């Protein structure tokens, strides 16, 4: 009888303990691929060990509609989400994300300026750049003008299927200096000019949507050059592919952690604080060629690794910082026009 009572008591205790245990978990969403693999090693696994909080990792392609649906329903199943800068600012303005408690994350002064915002904490600096297969091209392209030159470089080109980055590259191909791109793109004539350039190239374009596609297209010879995320090219290089990045006229941005409204904000903040430490950021940049947002991490990296990051001064020369405000103000209209143009 005592044994039965003991068993019942243990079962009751276990029952009470289950909700507490179930609460010690978070879901972290990234853009997948090599980026996610690097985050597993640098962030997720060590965070689980040090905090006892289980991390369920998922990925998406940046669909804000999914986040909005969760928030509108008052039940966020994603606790931490990786977002690009325009989506972070727009989502913050629309009330989709929690405000960041920086007192629990870290010292703002330790981060590069674009990494610090009201609703987000920068994870890494990345670039969308031109890439090519050095085994396929005898002469290396050096600019977006070369990318548009189908006579000198015959073959298909890969471009991201969207207005962002694609319109900027089109204007630079047409001779607009990097520091004038957003001034020109801010006019109707400038937008028309970019689309005219894209129309010229359209028969030679193979569109991509997921970051893993450009290195695959390049390695297989489906395209001779492509816009690509620099970290994905780095991962392909580590796999033995002879792919090269053209840093000139690349566009760099910061991806950030954000916490959807109604998510587990305490655990999410704890994770973000951990992932923002210099040591974890150094480990992440050692796994994939994205620049740390914690400036203390840059000093921990070997010179050879640092030279392959978007944050290297030589790679920033001739590069363009994405104008977040421009895309927040104009993104919806430009994406609609782009989708209509691409469908024709």
- How far is residue 98's CA from residue 263's CA, in Å, rounded to a whole number? 9
Can you read off the two tokens belonging to residue 265? 């904000």
* Coil, strand or helix at 267: helix
Q: How far is CA 52 from the centre of its chain?
A: 27
* Coil, strand or helix at 87: helix
State the angle between helix axes of 64-73 and 85-93 in degrees (0 to 180), rounded to the nearest 10. Answer: 30
* Coil, strand or helix at 141: coil
Q: Which helix (H) or strand (E) holds 125?
A: strand 121-133
pLDDT at 313: 84
pLDDT at 27: 98
* Signed CA dihedral, 257, 269, 93, 73: sign only: positive
pLDDT at 23: 53
pLDDT at 337: 98
- How far is residue 159's CA from residue 166's CA, in Å, rounded to a whole number? 7
Ramachandran class of 147: left when φ > 0, alpha when ψ lies in -120 to 50, beta otherwise:
alpha
- How far is residue 25's CA from residue 52's CA, in Å, rounded to a whole number? 9
Segments of the chain assigned to CATH 3.40.190.10: 26-123+255-313, 126-253+316-343
* 131 backbone dihedrals φ, ψ, rounded to 5°: -135, 155
- How far is residue 312's CA from residue 16's CA, in Å, rounded to a whole number? 53
CATH topology of domain 126-253+316-343: D-Maltodextrin-Binding Protein; domain 2 (3.40.190)
Q: Residues 141, 142, 143, CA angle at the centre, nearest 5°?
A: 105
pLDDT at 311: 86
pLDDT at 153: 95
* Coil, strand or helix at 264: coil
Long-range contact pairs involving 304-310 (C-beta distance under 8 Å, separation at least 24):
308/234, 309/125, 309/285, 310/125, 310/126, 310/127, 310/230, 310/247, 310/250, 310/252
Residues written for the chain? 344
pLDDT along the chain (344 residues), means of 10: 42 40 81 93 98 96 93 96 94 97 96 94 96 93 97 96 97 96 98 98 96 95 96 92 96 96 96 98 95 92 91 88 92 95 95
CATH topology of domain 26-123+255-313: D-Maltodextrin-Binding Protein; domain 2 (3.40.190)
What's the burial of 137, exposed, middle or buried (CB within 10 Å: 0-12/13-18/19+)? middle
HSE on the CB side for 337, CA within 13 Å? 17
Can you read off the two tokens belonging to residue 36? 């996610």
HSE on the CB side for 330, CA within 13 Å? 18
Q: Which helix (H) or strand (E) holds 57?
A: strand 54-59
Q: Which helix (H) or strand (E) holds 313?
A: helix 313-316
Under a CB-based contact definition with an 8 Å cutoff, are residues 198 and 341 in contact? yes
User: Rg of the Cα trace of the chain?
Assistant: 22
């Amino acid at each position: 009888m005592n044994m039965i009572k003991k068993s019942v008591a243990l079962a009751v205790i276990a029952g009470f303990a289950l909700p507490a245990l179930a609460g010690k978990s978070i879901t972290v969403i990234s853009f997948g691929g090599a980026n996610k693999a690097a985050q597993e090693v640098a962030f997720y696994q060590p965070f689980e060990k040090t905090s006892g909080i289980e991390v369920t990792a998922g990925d998406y392609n940046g669909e804000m509609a999914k986040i909005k649906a969760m928030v509108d329903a008052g039940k966020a199943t994603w606790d931490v989400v990786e977002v690009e800068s325009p989506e972070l600012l727009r989502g913050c303005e629309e009330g989709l994300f929690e405000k960041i408690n920086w007192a629990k994350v870290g010292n703002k002064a330790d981060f590069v300026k674009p990494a610090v915002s009201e609703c987000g904490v920068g994870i890494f600096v990345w670039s969308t750049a031109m890439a090519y297969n050095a085994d396929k091209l005898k002469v290396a392209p050096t600019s977006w003008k070369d990318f548009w030159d189908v006579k000198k470089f015959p073959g298909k080109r890969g471009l991201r299927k969207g207005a962002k980055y694609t319109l900027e590259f089109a204007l630079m191909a047409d001779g607009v200096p990097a520091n004038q791109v957003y001034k020109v793109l801010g006019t109707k004539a400038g937008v028309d000019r970019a689309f005219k350039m894209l129309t010229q190239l359209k028969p030679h374009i193979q569109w991509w949507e997921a970051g893993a596609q450009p290195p695959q297209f390049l390695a297989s010879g489906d395209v001779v050059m492509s816009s690509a995320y620099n970290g994905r090219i780095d991962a392909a290089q580590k796999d033995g592919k002879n792919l090269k990045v053209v840093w000139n006229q690349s566009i760099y941005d910061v991806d950030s952690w954000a916490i959807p409204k109604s998510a587990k904000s305490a655990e999410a903040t704890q994770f973000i604080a951990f992932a923002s430490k210099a040591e974890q950021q150094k480990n992440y940049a050692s796994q994939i060629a994205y620049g740390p947002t914690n400036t203390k991490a840059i000093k921990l990296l070997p010179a050879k690794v640092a030279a392959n990051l978007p944050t290297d001064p030589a790679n920033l020369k001739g590069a363009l910082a994405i104008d977040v405000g421009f895309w927040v103000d104009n993104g919806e209209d430009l994406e609609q026009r782009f989708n209509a143009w691409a469908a024709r």
